[in-house]
Structure 1
Amino acid sequence: MKKTLQMPLIRKGVGMLCLALMLFTLISGFRVSAQPTEKRMDAIFTHAPLKEVFDFLEAQTGYAVNYFKDEVNLQDKVSLHLQQATTEEILKSALQQTHYSYQLDGRMIIIRKKQETPARVNTGKVAGTLLDEKTGEPIIGATVRTGSKGTVTDVKGQYILELPTGSYTLEISSVGYNNKKITQVNITTGQVVTLDITLSLAKGTLKGVEVVGTAQRETLSALYARQRNNIALSDGISAEQIRRTPDNNVAQVLKRISGLTVQDNKFVVVRGMSERYNNVLLNGSSLPSSEPNRRNFSFDIVPSNLIDNVVVNKTATADMPGEFTGGLVQVNTIDIPRQNFILFQAGTGWNNNSTGKDFYSTRRLNSDYWGAAGDERRWFNKEWKPAGYQAAIVDNDRATINAMNAKVPNFYGLHKYTAKPMQQYQLSLGGSKEVGEGRTLGLVLAGTYRHEENIENYDAWFRASPTIVDTAHEYQFITSVGAIGNIAYQTKKHKLVWRNIFNRRFHHDNIVQNATDKGRFGTQREYISLLETGDLFQTRLEGEHLLSKGGIKFNWFADHAKVNKEQPHTIYSQAQIEDFDEASGKQRLRWDVLRSDASNINEGGVFTYALEEKKQNIGGDFTIPFKVGELAQKIKTGYWGTFRKATYEQATLIPTTVERAPRGTQIADSIGFGRADYEIYTPENFGAGLLYYKPVSATGVSAADYYDGTQNLHAAYLMADLQPLEKLHIIAGIRYENNMMRVHNFASFADAQSANLLDTTVTYRESDWLPSLNIIYNLTPKINVRAAYSKTLARPDFRERASFVYYDLRLRQTVIGAKGLEYSRANNVDLRFEWYPSPVEILSVTAFYKKYKKPVETVNNQMADNKYSVFYFNLEDAENRGLELDYRHSFSFIKKTSNFWKNLFLSANFTIMESKVSYNEKKLRAEAQSIPYDPSMDSAATIRTRPLQGLSPYIINGGLSYQGNIIGANVTYNRIGRRVLFAGIDDYDDIYENPRDVIDLQLSARLLKQKMEIRFNVSDLLNQYYIDYFNKVPEANPPTSPSGLSNVDDPKGMGYNPDSDWKLKRTKRGTAFTFTISYRL
Structure 2
Amino acid sequence: MNRIKTLLLLTLSLFFITSGAFAQGNGKIVGKIIDQKTSETLIGATVGIEGSQRGAATNVDGSYVLTDVKPGRYTLVIKYIGYQTKSISDVEVKAGAATSLDISLSAATSTTLKEVVVKATYRQASVAALYAVQKNSASISDGISSELIKRSPDRSTSDVLKRVSGTTIQDNKFVVVRGLSDRYNTASLDGSPLPSTEPNRKAFSFDIVPASLIENIIISKTATPDIQGDFAGGNVQIITKDIPDQNFVSVGVGVGYNSQSTFKDFQSGFRATSDYFGFDDGTRKLVSNFPTTSQIVNKQLSTTQTIQSIRSLNNDFNIYKSTALPSQNYQFTIGNVQELGANKNRLGTTVALTYRNSQTIIPDLVQQFDNYNYSNTQYKFSTNVGALANLAYSFGKNKITLKNLYNRVFDDQFTYRTGSNSSNGSYDNRFYANDLLEKSLFKTTLEGEHALGAKSSKLKWNLGYSNIINDQPDQRKTNYRQSAAGEPFYAQVTNLSKENARVFSHLNENIYSGKVDFNLPVNLFKQSTLKLGVNSQYRDRKFDARFIGLVINTNNPDYDINTILQRPIQTIFGPNLVNTGLYSLDEISNPTDRYNANSLTNAGYAMLDSKFSEKIRVVYGLRVEKFNLKLRTEEVAVQQPRAELDNTDFLPSVNFTYSLTQKANFRASYYRTVARPEFRELAPFAYYDYELLATLQGEPDLKRSLIDNADLRYEFYPSAGQILSFSVFYKKFQNAIEPKIEDQNSSTTISYFNSKSAYVYGFEMEARKTLDFINGGSFFKTTTAYANLSINKSKVTNPNDGVVRLEKDRALVGQSPYVINAGLQHTEFDNKLSVNVLFNRLGKRIFYAGGERFSSVYEQPRNVLDCQIGYKVLKSKGEIKLSATDVLNPKYNFIYELDGKPYIPSGSGYIFKSYRTGSSYALSFNYTF
Cα deviation code 1:595-628 (max 9, x no counterpart) = 22x4322xx2311211111100011122111234
**Residue matched to 2:603:** 715
- Distance (whole Å) between structure 2 residues aligned to residue 501 and residue 152 of structure 1: 32
Q: Provide the residue aligned with 2:502 in structure 1.
A: 606
The residue type equivalent to 2:711 in the other structure is: D
Give the TM-score, by structure 2 length: 0.90
Kept in 2, the 8 Å contact 1:977–1:994? The answer is yes
1:426 to 328, 331, 338: 331
After superposition, what is the alpha-carbon deviation per residue over 1:728-770, rounded to whole angstroms, capped at 9, x for unaligned?
A: 111111111111111001447x7xxxxxx98954432111111
Supply the distance in 2 between the matched residues of 1:725 and 1:850 (Cα, whole angstroms).
Answer: 30
Please name the residue that 2:215 is paired with.
308
**Residue 970 (str. 1) matches residue 841 (str. 2):** no
Name 2:536's counterpart in structure 1. Answer: 641
Structure 2 residue matching 1:678: 3-state secondary structure: coil
Deviation (angstroms), 1:1074: 0.4
Matches within 5 A, 1:710-859: 710-747=598-635, 760-859=641-740
Give the whole-Å Cα distance in 2 for the aligned partners of 1:305 and 1:924. 52
Question: Are 1:241 and 2:148 counterparts?
Answer: yes
Tell me, yes or no, if structure 1 residue 130 matches structure 2 residue 33: yes
Residues 665/434 of structure 1: CA separation in 2 closer, same or farther (3 Å cut): farther
CA deviation string 1:762-818 (max 9, x = no partner): 432111111111111112232111111111101112121111211111011101111
Whole-angstrom CA distance in 2 between matches of 1:778 and 1:987: 54
The alignment status of 1:1036 with 2:914, answered yes or no, reads: no
Point out the structure with max Rg over C-alpha: 1
Contact 1:972/1:999 (8 A) holds in 2: yes
* Paired position in structure 2 for 1:452: 358
**Residue type at the aligned position of 1:874:** N
Give the drift of 1:667: 6.8
- State the Cα distance separating 1:224 from its structure 2 match: 6.7
Q: Which moved more, 1:607-616 or 1:703-712?
A: 703-712
Q: 2:445 aligns with which of 529, 540, 548?
A: 540
Would the aligned equivalents of 1:220 and 1:240 in 2 still touch at CA under 8 Å? Answer: no
What one-letter code is carried by the residue in structure 2 that aligns with 1:592? A
What does the per-residue CA deviation read over 1:1013-1044, in whole Å, with 9 as the maximum and x for residues that have no partner? 111100011011110001143223557xxxxx
> Residues of 2 paired with 1:184 and 1:968: CA distance?
26
Contact 1:371 1:504 in 2 (8 A): yes
3-state DSSP of counterpart to 1:1078:
strand
Query: Quick check: 505-514 or 398-407, which moved more?
Result: 398-407
Q: How do residues 205-216 of structure 1 correspond to structure 2 at under 5 angstroms?
A: none
Matches of 1:641 and 1:791, distance apart in 2: 20
**Quick one: distance in 2 between partners of 1:831 and 1:1074?**
41
Equivalent residue for 1:359? 266
Report SS of the residue matched to 1:1021: coil
Structure-1 residue corresponding to 2:96: 190
CA distance 1:425–1:579, shift in 2 (3 Å): farther
- 2:403 alignment partner in structure 1: 499
Counterpart-to-counterpart distance in 1, 2:130 and 2:379 = 39
Partner of residue 413, structure 2: 509
Amino acid in structure 2 at the alignment position of 1:681: F
Q: 1:679 aligns with which of 571, 574, 583?
A: 571
From 945, 951, 956, the counterpart of 2:815: 951
CA shift digits 1:205-224 (9 cap, x unpaired)? 7999xxxxxxxxxx999777
Cα distance, 1:452 vs. partner? 0.8
Q: Deviations over 1:457-505 (max 9, x none)?
A: 33423546x22124x2211111001111111111121111111000000
Name the SS for the 1:892 alignment partner. Answer: helix
One-letter code of the match for 1:563?
I
Q: Distance in 2 between matches of 1:1067 and 1:484?
A: 36
Match of 2:582 in 1: 690
Residue 512 of structure 2: aligned partner? 616
Counterpart pick for 1:1001 among 860, 863, 867? 867
Partner of 2:122: none
**Alignment of 1:334 onto 2:241:** yes
Task: Find out whether 1:296 has 2:203 as its counterpart.
Answer: yes
Cα distance, 1:167–1:547 mapped onto 2, change above 3 Å: closer
Question: Given residue 1003 of structure 1, which amino acid in structure 2 is its aligned partner?
Answer: I
Q: CA deviation at 1:421?
A: 0.5
Task: Measure the CA separation in 1 of the matches of 2:133 and 2:569.
Answer: 60
1:26-61: CA deviation from partner (whole Å, max 9, x where unpaired): xxxxxxxxxxxxxxxxxxxxxxxxxxxxxxxxxxxx
Distance 2:839 2:652 in 1: 38
Q: Among the aligned pairs, what percent are the same residue?
A: 34
Summarize deviations over 1:831-859 as a string: whole Å, max 9, x none.
11112222211111111000001111112
Give the CA RMSD over aligned residues. Answer: 2.8
User: In the alignment, what sits opposite 1:113?
Assistant: none
Q: Which amino acid aligns with 1:1070?
A: G
Q: Which one of the candidate residues 870, 874, 893 is aligned to 1:1027?
A: 893
Give secondary structure in 1 for the equivalent of 2:351. Answer: strand
Q: How has the CA–CA distance of structure 1 residues 692 and 149 changed in structure 2, closer, same or farther, with 3 Å as cutoff? A: farther
Q: Give the CA deviation at 1:384.
A: 2.3
Displacement, 1:695?
Answer: 1.3
Whether contact under 8 Å (1:223, 1:238) holds in the other structure is: no
- Cα distance in structure 2, aligned partners of 1:351 and 1:426: 21
For the 8 Å contact 2:158–2:173, the answer to whether it is kept is yes
Alpha-carbon distance between aligned partners in 1 of 2:878 and 2:905, rounded to the nearest angstrom: 61
What is the CA–CA distance in structure 1 between the aligned matches of 2:782 and 2:73, rounded to whole Å?
19
Structure 2: stretches of 5+ with no match in the other structure: 1-21, 116-125
Distance in 2 between the 1:1016 and 1:593 partners? 49
- How far apart are the structure 1 equivalents of 2:514 and 2:768? 38
Match of 2:849 among 983, 989, 993: 983
What's the secondary structure of 1:330's corresponding residue? strand
1:276 aligns with 2:183: yes
Alignment partners' CA distance in 2, 1:275 and 1:452: 26
Cα drift, residue 549 of structure 1: 1.1
Compared CA separation, residues 229 and 657, structure 1 to 2 (3 A): same
Unaligned runs of 5+ in 1: 1-118, 209-218, 581-586, 751-756, 927-940, 1040-1061
Matching of residue 410 in structure 1 with residue 280 in structure 2: no
How far apart in 2 are the matches of 1:309 and 1:988?
43
- Give the Cα–Cα distance (whole angstroms) in 2 for the partners of residues 1066 and 705 of structure 1: 32
For residues 524 and 245 of structure 2, the distance between their equivalents in structure 1, rounded to whole angstroms, comes to 36
Q: How many pairs does the alignment contain?
A: 885
Equivalent position to 2:394, from 472, 487, 490: 490
Q: Is the 8 A contact 2:554 2:561 kept in 1?
A: no
Deviation by residue 1:829-887 (Cα, 9 ceiling, x = unmatched): 01111122222111111110000011111122213x32211111111210100011111
Task: Check whether the contact 1:422–1:452 (CA below 8 A) recurs between aligned residues.
Answer: yes
CA separation in 2, counterparts of 1:552 and 1:970? 43
Q: Which amino acid aligns with 1:715?
A: A
Closer/same/farther in 2, CA of residues 579 and 870 from structure 1, 3 Å limit:
closer
TM-superposed deviation, 1:185 = 4.4
Deviations 1:343-373 (A, max 9, x none): 1111111111110000000011101100012
Instruction: Tell me the secondary structure at the aligned position of residue 570 of structure 2.
Output: helix
> What CA distance in whole angstroms lies between the structure 2 residues aligned with 1:689 and 1:759?
43
What secondary structure sits across from 1:725 in the alignment?
Answer: coil
Q: 1:684 to 1:328 in 2, by over 3 A?
A: farther
C-alpha deviations, 1:430-481, integer Å up to 9, x for none?
11111111421111111100111111133423546x22124x2211111001
Q: 2:561 aligns with which of 663, 666, 683?
A: 666
Between stretches 185-194 and 326-335, larger displacement belongs to 185-194
Q: CA deviation at 1:635?
A: 1.0
1 CA distance for matches of 2:497 and 2:620? Answer: 55
The one-letter code sitting in structure 2 at the alignment partner of 1:950 is: G
- The amino acid that maps onto 1:1033 is Y
- Tell me by how many angstroms 1:167 deviates: 5.3
Equivalent-residue separation in structure 1 for 2:357 and 2:717 (angstroms): 41
Secondary structure at the aligned position of 2:207 is classed as helix
